[in-house]
Amino acid sequence: MLKRLLPLAALVFWPCYSYSESITPYFGITGNAATGGYSWNMDNVFPEPPGLEVNGVFYSYTPDKLTEDAFKVTVGNEGVWSDTEDWTGTPGGIEVRKVIGLPNVPREAWGDGYIITEGTGTVNDATVIYSYKVDPCFDPQFDPNCPGYVIPVPVVPDLNIEIYDATEDEYVSLNDEEKSLIEENEEQLDKEKEEEEEEAEERKRKYRMEMAQSLLGGAELEAENQRIIAMNAAQQAVVNTQYITATIPGGVYKENVVLIDNKIDDNKNGLRNGLAQQLLHEQMVGMQYNN
């Protein structure tokens, strides 16, 4: 029973990794930079990701010297930091272990690393390890969740495909009939190509002719228009000669009618007419009550 359950249990407890790149900054340490000697290029020390900043260095070594010998050891990186220990008057064999804190120095600022000795003595078991922080979103395009991410425009690849032509292949052997067919096909293709070129040339020629005619027609129209304008101008000159210049006497025409007694009497004829109109009106109004 146990043997039967064992594979199932193994399947259940089999490690399952779900890898997803995070945009959260992470920390790490390098390997020993001084394994290859007393000078090193930081490109060979730092890991690949951009956005790397170094926040500290740990170094250690053991000097090999006599107590009375003057001996100084300087560890550092060009342009960033350096630290000197004076071992003069100190017995050899005592290891120094030191941690240097740094204010997040970006990788671009780091020059080559070095261990320089002055005086009589040597350095043994040197270790230089860098502590760093990496910001994955240093390049916003690293992840869509990074601030400043821009949706990339896909680059259309320039396909330079070489088309295989079996007839040009020296390793393809053809018989006479096949060669004849290919030659006929090529002749036909050449002929079609010539015809297409002639047609294209003909179309161009026609187009040029039409354009020339169109330009000629425009010129004629312009000339006709000018002639009409000239004729209108001549006609207007003739019309203008038929008019004469005359002065119309004018002035002020004052009121010359005077109302003598300051009143106007009613017109008796009008009174009679008004009375007749009134009688007719009343007759018409009364007619509506007769029914």
Which residues form the interface with another protein (CB under 8 A)?
Answer: 60, 63, 67, 73, 84-87, 89-91, 94-99
| Shortest distance (Å) from residue 85 CB to another protein | 4
Q: Which residue's CB is nearer to another protein, number 73 or number 134?
A: 73
Q: Which residue's CB is nearer to another protein, number 97 or number 193?
A: 97
Contact 42, 110 (CB under 8 A): yes
| Shortest distance (Å) from residue 84 CB to another protein | 8
Give the angle subtended at the CA of 57 by the CAs of 54 and 58, to the nearest 5°.
Answer: 150
What are the distances in angstroms from CA 111 to CA 76, 81, 103? Answer: 9, 10, 16
Terminal Cα distance for the chain, rounded: 125
| Shortest distance (Å) from residue 70 CB to another protein | 12
What are the distances in angstroms from CA 63 to CA 94, 137, 276? Answer: 7, 42, 150
Q: Which residue's CB is nearer to another protein, number 34 or number 52?
A: 34
| Shortest distance (Å) from residue 124 CB to another protein | 13
Closest CA to 75 of 132, 133, 129, 120: 129
Amino acid at 254: K
| Shortest distance (Å) from residue 122 CB to another protein | 15
Q: Which residue's CB is nearer to another protein, number 89 or number 218?
A: 89
Q: Which residue's CB is nearer to another protein, number 54 or number 73?
A: 73
| Shortest distance (Å) from residue 42 CB to another protein | 24
Pairing, β 81-86 against β 26-29: unpaired
Contact 116, 61 (CB under 8 A): no
| Shortest distance (Å) from residue 155 CB to another protein | 54
What are the distances in angstroms from CA 260 to CA 230, 255, 264, 272? Answer: 67, 14, 10, 26
Distance of alpha carbon 239 from alpha carbon 258, whole angstroms: 49
Contact 116, 83 (CB under 8 A): no
DSSP letter at 135?
-
The token pair that represents 266 in the structure block: 């009613």
Q: Which residue's CB is nearer to another protein, number 125 or number 196?
A: 125
Q: Which residue's CB is nearer to another protein, number 46 or number 130?
A: 130
